[in-house]
Amino acid sequence: MNRFFRLAGQFVLLFAIMGMYSCSKKQTSSATGWEYNDPDWGGFHVAEEKEQKTGPGLVLVPGGTFTMGNVEEDVMYDYHSVPHRVTVSSFYMDESEVTNVAYREYLYWLEKLFGDTYPELYQKAVPDTLVWLEELAYNEPFVKNYFRHPAYNNYPVVGVSWLQANEFCKWRSDRVNEMLLIKEGILDQDPNQYGAEHFSTDAYLLGQYEGVVNKGMKNHDPNGPETRSVRFDDGILLPDYRLPTEAEWEYAALGIIAEGNEERFTDRKQYPWKGGGVRYSEHGKWHGDILANFKRGRGDYMGIAGKLNDNAEITAPVKSYIPNDFGLYNMAGNVSEWTLDVYRPMTSTDAQDFNAFRGNVFKTMEKDEEGKIAPKDSLGRIKYRELTEDEIGSRTNFRKANVINYRDGDEDSAVGYETNATTLISDKSRVVKGGSWKDVAYWLAPGARRYMDEDNAASWIGFRCAMIRVGSPDGKKFPKAKKKK
């Protein structure tokens, strides 16, 4: 027994020595031979290689190629969703739609910080609860209860415009990054933030917000202070939450995963699940469970009492029904969802085949007369502006900053969406994807497209957030090439 304890002690000592060696092992530049993270060698800091963390509420959607576009005849006979092959980079997406309780948390924060100085900021963010009203229907109870009553906490928020959804994404990005810095011990909690003096990721990275510092980051610069603020290249902070692009949303909804170990997929999906029906089936046997929350036909929103087909007369809790193969809930039905794209009928033929998107307005941070980043605004945010022609210069990858109308409404096109009074399409028209509780089954197909002005809202439109995946597409290290013997 004594021999066992001696051996165990030796193993513990060995592992401790190995741990000390691995912690003290220096990283060396392959370009210069100089050591990283060492004040004696200049102090150039290089964070240890690490994979991106998964932010709260998100699920990794591994990128790939798929056929984007409608798989059945368009009921409006619009030629605006032509099947075409595209590739989407890996990204993260909310597991479910943003809920009422999550959006109320956002409103609470706005009122707490800006209720006295900018009360209009809070009012501007409040969902439009009047979206429930219909001239010949009694929906007034939803106006009063749906957003505020705790019974609806985990139901999708509706009545939110595209503009409001984007502001929520910005707020969420800052709150998540602040939380990460607190959990890393870099900052302490500061419950007394007020007005412009609140955590903003951009402001923090640019030194325009300090916060309540706990231990800070160790500084290897021999001429600097002992500690410093976190930089983005430390790998602690996450990229921004945002709305998904139309291509990302459609790809995520289809949930196409290769069969076996081969790069192939033999089925054509009409919905986010396999098969052409809207009920759960296994081996050809129909089990009867409805797979989404939608309108089965005129006047039939939920079925017969005692045997409700989707158990929801309007929306349902965000994690109702079976998730798709990527683990995403309600990518068909419940609520339709905002995407980042500006709507154009022919985006399917105009857009790039890699990360297709229409809506780019290329921007840069504003600078003062001395060429430094301008001070944050009265809301605590760094100010951005469009790139000028001089800044774009002789670039070949793009020629102007605002390319929303590129090849489809600009001076080089035959179509003018902003000047033609006979069309409802404008640069404010945003793509809406997915069916809702108010739609028939046709709109459940991920390839179906609709649009609405970015400052409008509806009782059948909600949203979920996305985030780009940095590094490896699937979280796995890229295999190193083996040297030939």
The CB-side HSE value for 296 (13 A sphere, CA atoms) comes to 16
Read off the pLDDT of residues 320-330 as tens digits, 9 standing for 90 and up.
999 999 999 99
What does the pLDDT look like over 294-307, one tens digit per residue? 998 898 888 888 77
Distance CA 450, CA 76 (A): 11
Tokens of 453: 């002005």
Q: Say what the pLDDT of residue 8 is.
A: 53
Written as six digits, the tokens of 262 are 């081969």
Q: Give the C-alpha separation, 296 to 243, whole Å.
A: 29
CA proximity to 345, closest of 409, 411, 420, 439: 409
The size of the chain, in residues, is: 485
Least confident piece of the model among 109-118, 420-429, 443-452: 420-429
- Summarised one tens digit per residue, pLDDT across range 337-387 is 999 999 998 887 788 999 999 999 999 999 999 999 999 999 999 999 999
d(CA 251, CA 169): 21
**Residue 242 DSSP label:** B
pLDDT on residue 69: 86
**Residue 415: what pLDDT?**
58
If one counts every other C-beta atom within 10 angstroms of the C-beta of residue 282, the result is 8
Percent of the chain at pLDDT exceeding 90: 67
What is the arithmetic mean of pLDDT over 203-220?
A: 93
Average pLDDT over residues 66-79: 72
Question: How far apart (Å, rounded) are the C-alpha atoms in residues 451 and 424?
Answer: 10
CB-based contacts of 305-313 (< 8 A; 24+ apart in sequence) = 312/437, 313/437
Residues 6+ apart with CB under 8 A from 306: none
Sequence letter at residue 390: D
Compute the 3-state secondary structure of the chain and give helix, strand, coil in percent, each to the nearest 5.
Answer: 25, 15, 60
Residue 303: the pLDDT is: 82
The pLDDT value given to residue 6: 57
pLDDT category of residue 78 using cuts at 50, 70 and 90: low
Residue 105: both structure tokens together: 């948390």
The Cα-based distances of 207 to 203, 258, 352, 375 in angstroms read: 6, 46, 37, 10
Q: Is the pLDDT of residue 9 over 90?
A: no
Calculate the average pLDDT of the chain: 87
Beta bridge partners of 197: 194
* CATH of range 56-353+431-468; options 3.30.70.890, 3.40.50.10280, 3.90.1580.10, 3.30.70.100: 3.90.1580.10
Residue with tokens 């029906």: 277
Residues 71-103 as b/e (b if ≥16 CB within 10 A, e otherwise) read beeeeeeeebbeeeebbbbbbbbbbbbbbbebb
What average pLDDT score do residues 7-20 get?
49
**pLDDT confidence of 20, banded at 50, 70, 90?**
very low
Residues 6+ away with beta carbon under 8 Å from 143: 129, 130, 132, 133
Distance set, CA 133 to CA 149, 158, 290 (Å): 18, 13, 27
Return all residues near 146 (Cβ < 8 A) that are at least 6 apart.
100, 129, 132, 152, 155, 158, 314
Phi, psi of 87 (to 5 degrees): -120, 140
Residue 391 confidence (pLDDT) above 70: yes
Q: Is the pLDDT of residue 23 over 50?
A: no
Long-range Cβ pairs for the range 177-185 (8 Å, 24+): 177/201, 177/204, 177/237, 177/238, 178/211, 179/56, 180/53, 180/236, 180/237, 180/238, 181/211, 181/230, 181/236, 181/237, 182/214, 184/230, 184/236, 185/214, 185/215
Lowest mean pLDDT segment, chosen from 162-166, 239-243, 303-307, 476-480: 476-480
Of 246, 258, 235, nearest to 470 (Cα)?
235
